[in-house]
């Protein structure tokens, strides 16, 4: 056996896993080669030396250090989700600016339509500028949720209608329920703001459920809402 | 040959001492997965010494060992939900320590610093970098000559993979099979590399062999 091959077997020989068939020529080589024999003795000493190295204790505050790191990591992740106000983001600033610009252009184009009064040509060459525009009727009606109120010993269903527009609106109200004296009401042209219509009254001590259906037409579209009121 | 029998005794002694009962560990892991921080605290308590020792034997520096060991537990905390139990918890844990250690070495290589503990390899022997000290303590100098210190220095001077194998086998009592699983290498490769690492260690320590007369 040559030295290189013998050295490959040093570990197997030390941990006792060497093939018995090889151990004979290996030991013969050791008897003949003082260099390999010395090296093996030294290796064994180092081997035993490492095996008997002392066990160290972790620092007493080790667990506290670990938890501190875990907390710091959690805080860092939480901070990532909050965007600092001073951090400039091209995207976040560019998008609203673009939208604002588009809105301004649209407003400029529609100015004669939505702004009442006479417009004079500013010399921009746009055909609609400078044309006199008549005041157009504006549709703006909001029908609120009816509520049950109490007035003069009777319960009333109140329907708030907020009409700030200048278009006459027909409002139909249909109320179904026990104690309802008047089931259908037609209101012509509610106008102004906060119109309150007392549609019907029921006995205040009566336990009842009222189904209130309001229907009105606005911009050619029929709007309808149904409410369920309990007394 | 007494090195193998002493190793077995040592393994049995350490296991008994550290009470690393796998079924208890499994229960702790399950509780951790339910989000119980108290269970994770128990898990740290159970394995801190093992992880810290492994880390110290790899780097030979207390502060660095502290960092590697604590970072290991942070990674365990984050990854415990993915632990399926295909391998034992301790094998998985050692794989994480190994990864943290190798990542740290990679980071150090990208940001080289002059360590006070740096090992300088000379032709005939290894010495630690000497920093000029106006008042050298005799006790400290004696300490450096201690066998364990010499061994630790020699281990730290080994290439990383040889170091990992030496520490896993000799100080952490891992079997060849376990090392193969942790490092994802064939057993034959582990055995041949370990043999080379031992020969290399012996070579480094040859000039100081008088400290190893047993």
Q: How does pLDDT run across B153-207, given as a tens digit for each residue?
A: 899 999 988 999 999 999 888 999 999 999 999 999 999 999 999 999 999 988 8
pLDDT of B5? 59
Mean residue pLDDT of chain A comes to 72
A62: which chain B residues are within 8 Å (Cβ-Cβ)?
44, 48, 52, 66, 69-70
Bigger pLDDT: A187 vs A66:
A66
In the predicted model, is pLDDT for residue B119 greater than 80? no
Q: How does pLDDT run across A5-33, given as a tens digit for each residue?
A: 888 889 988 888 888 888 889 999 999 99
Bigger pLDDT: B24 vs B16:
B24
- Across A83-93, average pLDDT: 56
A54: which chain B residues are within 8 Å (Cβ-Cβ)?
148
Q: How does pLDDT run across A106-164, given as a tens digit for each residue?
A: 766 666 555 555 544 444 444 444 444 445 555 566 677 777 776 666 666 677 776 66
Mean residue pLDDT of chain B comes to 80
pTM over 0.80: no
Interface A:B, Cβ pairs < 8 A: 119
Q: How does pLDDT run across A149-185, given as a tens digit for each residue?
A: 766 666 666 777 766 666 656 667 777 666 665 556 6
**Which phi and psi angles does B82 have, rounded to 5°?**
-90, -5
Contact at CB, B171 and A10, closer than 8 angstroms: no
> To 10 degrees, the CA torsion angle through A216, A219, A222, A228?
-50
Chain A residue with the nearest C-alpha to that of B78: A70
> Please, are residues B117 and B128 in contact by the beta-carbon 8 Å criterion?
yes
Chain A residue with the nearest C-alpha to that of B48: A58
> To 10 degrees, the CA torsion angle through B138, B149, B151, B68?
-160
Q: How does pLDDT run across B28-68, given as a tens digit for each residue?
A: 898 988 888 888 999 999 999 999 999 999 998 899 999 99
Of B45, B192, B202, the CB nearest to A46: B202
Bigger pLDDT: A229 vs A4:
A4
Residue A222 gets the label, from left (phi > 0), alpha (psi -120 to 50) or beta, of beta
> Please, are residues B182 and B95 in contact by the beta-carbon 8 Å criterion?
yes
Chain B residue with the nearest C-alpha to that of A72: B74
Contact at CB, B151 and A59, closer than 8 angstroms: no
| Count of helix runs (H) and strand runs (E) in chain B | 10, 2
Of A12, A50, A67, the CB nearest to B151: A50
Chain A residue with the nearest C-alpha to that of B205: A46
pLDDT of A178? 64
pLDDT of A74? 83
The CB density around residue B11, as the number of other CB atoms within 10 Å, is: 14
Locate tokens 């984050």: which residue? B78
Contact at CB, B70 and A66, closer than 8 angstroms: yes
In the predicted model, is pLDDT for residue A85 greater than 60? no
B96: which chain A residues are within 8 Å (Cβ-Cβ)?
none
Of B1, B66, B147, the CB nearest to A49: B147
Lowest-confidence range among A74-88, B82-96, B165-179? A74-88
In the predicted model, is pLDDT for residue B86 greater than 70? yes
Residue ranges in chain A assigned as alpha helix (H) = 3-8, 10-15, 20-32, 34-51, 62-81, 90-114
Give the integer Cα–Cα distance in Å for A12 and A14: 5
- Across A102-107, average pLDDT: 77
Domains, chain A: 3-51 (no CATH), 103-133 (no CATH), 141-230 (2.60.40.10)
pLDDT of B124? 47
Give the integer Cα–Cα distance in Å for A87 and A64: 34
Do strands A195-202 and B119-121 pair parallel, antiparallel, or not at all (unpaired)? unpaired
ipTM above 0.85, yes or no: no
Bigger pLDDT: A219 vs A50:
A50
- Across A90-114, average pLDDT: 69
Give the integer Cα–Cα distance in Å for B195 and B188: 11
Domains, chain B: 11-113 (1.10.1740.10), 122-214 (1.10.10.10)
Tokens of B161: 């993979």
Chain A residues bordering chain B (beta-carbon distance below 8 Å) = 7-8, 10-16, 39, 42-59, 62-63, 65-67, 69-70, 73
pLDDT of B54? 93
> Please, are residues A135 and A183 in contact by the beta-carbon 8 Å criterion?
no
Q: What percent of chain A has pLDDT over 70?
A: 52
């Amino acid at each position: 056996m040559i030295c290189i091959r013998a050295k490959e077997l040093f570990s197997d020989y030390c941990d006792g896993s060497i093939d018995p068939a090889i151990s004979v020529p290996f030991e013969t080589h050791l008897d003949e080669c003082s260099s390999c024999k010395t090296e093996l003795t030294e290796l064994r000493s180092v081997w035993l030396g490492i095996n008997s190295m002392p066990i160290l204790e972790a620092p007493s505050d080790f667990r506290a250090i670990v938890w501190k790191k875990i907390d710091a990591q959690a805080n860092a992740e939480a901070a990532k989700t909050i965007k600092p106000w001073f951090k400039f983001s091209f995207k976040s600033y560019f998008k609203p600016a673009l939208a604002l610009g588009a809105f301004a252009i649209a407003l400029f184009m529609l100015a004669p339509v939505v702004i009442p009064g006479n417009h004079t040509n500013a010399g921009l060459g746009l055909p609609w500028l400078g044309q006199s525009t008549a005041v157009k009727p504006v549709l703006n009606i909001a029908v609120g949720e009816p509520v049950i109120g109490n007035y003069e010993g009777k319960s009333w269903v109140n329907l708030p209608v907020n009409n700030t527009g200048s278009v006459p609106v027909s409002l139909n109200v249909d109320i179904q329920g026990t104690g309802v004296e008047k089931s259908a009401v037609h209101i012509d042209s509610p106008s102004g703001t906060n119109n309150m219509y007392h549609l019907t009254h029921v006995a205040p001590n009566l336990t009842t459920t009222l189904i209130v259906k309001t229907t009105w037409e606005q911009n050619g579209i029929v709007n309808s809402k149904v409410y369920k009121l309990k007394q | 040959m007494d090195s193998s029998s002493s190793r077995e005794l040592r393994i049995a002694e350490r296991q008994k001492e550290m009470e690393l009962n796998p079924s208890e560990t499994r229960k702790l892991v399950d509780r951790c997965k339910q989000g119980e921080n108290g269970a994770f605290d128990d898990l740290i308590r159970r394995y801190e010494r093992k992880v810290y020792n492994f880390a110290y034997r790899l780097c030979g520096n207390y502060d660095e060992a502290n960092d590697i060991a604590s970072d290991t537990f942070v990674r365990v905390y984050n990854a415990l939900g993915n632990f399926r139990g295909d391998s034992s918890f301790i094998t998985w844990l050692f794989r994480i320590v190994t990864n943290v250690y190798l990542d740290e070495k990679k980071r150090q290589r990208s940001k080289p610093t002059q360590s006070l503990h740096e090992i300088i390899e000379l032709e005939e022997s290894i010495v630690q970098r000497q920093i000029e000290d106006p008042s050298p303590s005799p006790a400290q100098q004696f300490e450096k000559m201690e066998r364990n210190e010499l061994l630790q220095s020699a281990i730290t001077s080994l290439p990383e993979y040889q170091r990992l194998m030496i520490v896993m086998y000799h100080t952490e009592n891992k079997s060849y099979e376990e090392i193969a699983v942790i490092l994802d290498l064939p057993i034959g490769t582990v055995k041949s590399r370990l043999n080379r690492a031992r020969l290399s260690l012996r070579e480094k320590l040859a000039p100081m062999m008088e400290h190893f007369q047993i």
